[in-house]
């Protein structure tokens, strides 16, 4: 049964692989046997060190995903490294916080460009290559609890993650019969740099923890395991899901 989760011989692109959830996903896929191509704007030396020290393969590609310009370069690099693209994890994302009445067009566009626009066109370009040899592939989007809920003070982030849930289903509908699985993971409250301010706020952190049935914040590694599942043979008949990994938050 363990062989179902073996990614040996697969090449996986993971965007936003420099820290947090992206780093954990990259590491988990490498530990499962995949050759991982990490994409990010900042240094991925820490991720590379973790993976190579464990004897696995990691290759860094520096790119700014706020535009579509680097897409073909990323895919070309991945094919040079691994021969073909088997797995794409769209993890890169940004967030801007402000009351809706004060939210700026720049903050709207910046978030939507990275979280939704580039995700779509990178998925499109990867799928074209996956379809060429009819061997299919796996595309995993990193959604959010705000794919299900509204949140506060993050209008463009909520819109992008709600849109990403719909996009995941749309692409699954179009590509499932062609051998490409498109799914998403919706992380709950995870211990990352993005949530540090919340965790340092004792009142807000206490409110969040009281709502999580598991009684703890999530760890990035919790998302890594879910990503390996969706990238593996074990998920071959899984299409169009948005999988919450949230300690039971949405069950409350």
Closest CA to 178 of 131, 115, 133: 131
**215 close to 16: Cβ distance less than 8 angstroms:** no
Helix, coil or strand: residue 84: coil
Whole-angstrom CA distances from 187 to 99, 130, 182 are: 23, 27, 17
Partners of 2 in beta bridges: none
Backbone angles phi, psi at 154, to 5 degrees: -135, 60
End-to-end CA distance of the chain: 33
**81 close to 34: Cβ distance less than 8 angstroms:** no
Q: Which residues are catalytic?
A: 157
Whole-angstrom CA distances from 90 to 12, 40, 94, 184, 207 are: 11, 11, 12, 9, 30
């Amino acid at each position: 049964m363990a062989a179902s989760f073996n990614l040996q011989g697969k090449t996986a692109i993971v965007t936003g692989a420099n820290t947090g959830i992206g780093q954990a996903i990259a590491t988990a896929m490498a530990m499962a046997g995949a050759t991982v191509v990490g994409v990010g704007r900042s240094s991925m030396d820490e991720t590379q060190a973790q993976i190579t020290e464990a004897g696995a393969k990691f290759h860094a590609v520096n790119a700014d995903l706020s535009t579509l310009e680097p897409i073909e370069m990323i895919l070309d690099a991945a094919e040079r490294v691994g021969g073909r693209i088997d797995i794409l994890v769209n993890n890169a994302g940004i967030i801007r916080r402000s009351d809706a009445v004060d939210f700026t067009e720049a903050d709207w566009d910046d978030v939507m460009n990275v979280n939704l626009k580039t995700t779509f066109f990178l998925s499109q370009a990867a799928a074209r290559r996956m379809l060429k040899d009819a061997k299919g592939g796996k595309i995993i989007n990193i959604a959010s609890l705000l794919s299900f809920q509204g949140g506060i003070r993050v209008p463009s982030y909520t819109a992008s993650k709600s849109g990403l849930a719909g996009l995941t289903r749309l692409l699954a509908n179009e590509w499932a019969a062609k051998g490409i699985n498109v799914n998403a993971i919706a992380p709950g409250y995870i211990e990352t740099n993005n949530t540090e301010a919340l965790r340092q706020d004792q009142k807000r952190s206490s409110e969040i923890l009281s709502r999580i049935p598991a009684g703890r914040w999530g760890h990035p590694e919790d998302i890594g395991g879910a990503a390996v599942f969706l990238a593996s043979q074990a998920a071959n008949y899984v299409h169009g899901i948005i999988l919450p990994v949230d300690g039971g938050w949405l069950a409350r």
